Amino acid sequence: MSVDAFITEETIQGADDGPLADRTVAIKDNISTAGVRTTCGSEMLADYVPPYDATVVERLKRAGATLVGKTNMDEFGMGTTTETSAFGPTKNPVDESRVPGGSSGGSAAAVAAGEADVALGSDTGGSVRCPAAFCGVVGIKPTYGLVSRYGLVAYANSLEQIGPLAPTVEGAAEVLDVIAGPDERDATTREAGADADYASAADGDVEGLSIGVPTELIEGADERVIERFEATLDDLRAQGAETHEVSLPSVERAVQAYYVIAMSEASSNLARFDGVRYGPETDADGNWNDSFAQVREEGFGDEVKRRILLGTYALSAGYHDKYYAKAQDARAWLKQDFDEALAEADVLASPTMPVLPFELGESLDDPLQMYLADANTVPVNLANLPAVSVPAGRADGLPVGFQLIGSAFGEREIIRAASAVEN
C-alpha cells in the first residue's frame, strides 16, 4: 500500500564511499536536484528541472548517499497537512485516514513507511517537526545559519532551514553532520557549529540536565497530548534531568508574528513566478500585467494565493506599520524571552504539536484554525533557534511528538536530551 509520499521517484547515486554510503535519502521537492524535476508541490513548477544541485544535495551525494526521490509537500511549503499539494495528499503511514502533517509530509511519511532510510525537509514554521511528530519519526530544525539554503526554493528566507528526518535521533544527527556548515553560496550561513560532531551527542546522558517547560506551550494542548508529554518528562527526571516551569509571555503573539512575516516574505519571493523564465505554458494574452495575473491565477493553489495576498496587504501603504513592523517587534520580544529562559535552563521542552494528527480533509476549509496548530513550532523559527521533535509514544494509537528547544548552535544539547527520550 503506497502512502503517496513521493512526487517523483528517481534514483540518484552518490559517491562510492562516505558516511552515508549505505543510506537511502528522500528529498523534499522544494530542494533543487540537477536534472530531476523540482515542483514545490505546485502546478507552477510541475515541469521545472533545476540546472544545479542544492548545496545539501551536493553534500549528501559526496557522503555516498543514494537519493531515492522527491517527496510530496504543501504547495511551496504553505500548510500543516501536505494537503495543499497540487499532486494530491499523502497518507499518514501510522493511520492512513490521517494526514502526515506538513509541510514536509512526504519526507516524514517516506521515513515512517520505510520507503527511505532518512529524508530532508525544510522548516519555516514547523514543517520538519510537525510531520515528524504526526508520523512518529525524529525531525531536527537546525539553528538559522547552520545549514545552507542554496538551492532551496524560497518561501520565507529569514525563517527557514533545511533539516533531517530519521527513525532515530542518532540517524537524524548523522545526516546533520553531513549537511551542516558554512557555504559561500548562502551568505546567511555561519562558521559556528560547523565542526561539531552531532551524532556522538546522541548518548542518552541527561544526568544533571536542566529542562525549562514554558507554561504557555502546554496550556491549550489536547489532554491526550499533555498526558504523553508529562509521562516523558517523568521519564527524563527518572534519568537524572531536572525540570522547572518557565514563562514566555511573548509566545502568545508568535503565531500572528510568524504569519505576518512569512506571508510578507512570500509575497515578495513568489513574485518571480510570472510564466516567463519558468512556469506553465498558457495562452494568456494582453499586456505584461494581464498575462502575469492569468499565469499566477492558474499556477497557484488557494493557500498560496491567500498568503501572497495577505502578505501584499500587510506590506501595502498604510498597513506596513500596523502589521509588518509590529511583527518584527514581536520577533525581537520572542528572542529576548527565549534568551532569558535559556539562561536558566540547558534546553526547553514542549509538545511539538498541541493536537493529534488531523483526519484527511478535516482542516482544509478553515485556514485560521490550521494556522493555530503551529503555536508550538513557530516561536523557534522566529527566535532562530534549533529544535528537535522526538516520538513520545502514542495516544489513541496516534503518534505524539516531544519538542526540545536549544540555544543558538546548541544542537548537541537537544540531540543528547532527545536521545534520552528514546531510552
Which stretches of the chain bind other proteins, using CB under 8 A?
47-49, 51-52, 184, 187-188, 250, 252-253, 256-257, 259-260, 267, 271, 274-282, 284-294, 296-297, 300, 302, 305-306, 308-310, 312-314, 316, 319, 322-323, 326-327, 329-330, 332-333, 335-336, 367-368, 371
Torsion sign across C-alpha atoms 104, 302, 151, 257: negative
Asked whether 71 and 107 are in contact (CB, 8 A), the reply is yes
Between the two ends of the chain, the Cα-to-Cα distance in Å is 31
Choice between 50 and 69, CB closer to other proteins: 50
Q: Which long-range contacts (CB under 8 A, 24 or more apart) does 303-309 make?
A: 303/74, 303/75, 303/78, 303/79, 303/84, 303/367, 304/42, 304/75, 304/76, 304/78, 304/84, 304/266, 304/270, 306/367, 307/78, 307/262, 307/263, 307/266, 307/267, 308/263, 308/266, 308/267, 308/270, 309/267
With b for 16 or more beta-carbon neighbours within 10 A and e for fewer, the 108-141 pattern comes to: bbbbbbebbbbbbbbbbbbbbbbbbbbbbbbbbb
Cell of 311: 502578505
Active site residue ranges:
28, 103, 127
Torsion sign across C-alpha atoms 87, 91, 93, 99: positive
Q: Give the Å distances, CA to CA, from 287 to 205, 278, 279, 290, 292.
A: 64, 18, 17, 5, 9
In angstroms, the CA 107 to CA 396 distance is 24
Choice between 219 and 302, CB closer to other proteins: 302
Burial label, 369 (beta-carbon count in 10 A; 0-12, 13-18, 19+)? exposed
> What is the smallest separation between the CB atom of 401 and other proteins, expressed in angstroms?
25
Could you write out the DSSP letters of every residue in 138-175?
Answer: EEEEPPTTSB--TTBPPS-TTT-EEEEEESSHHHHHHH
Closest C-alpha to 149, from 28, 326, 24, 270 = 28
Any bridge partners for residue 399, and if so which? 394
528514546: which residue's cell?
Answer: 422
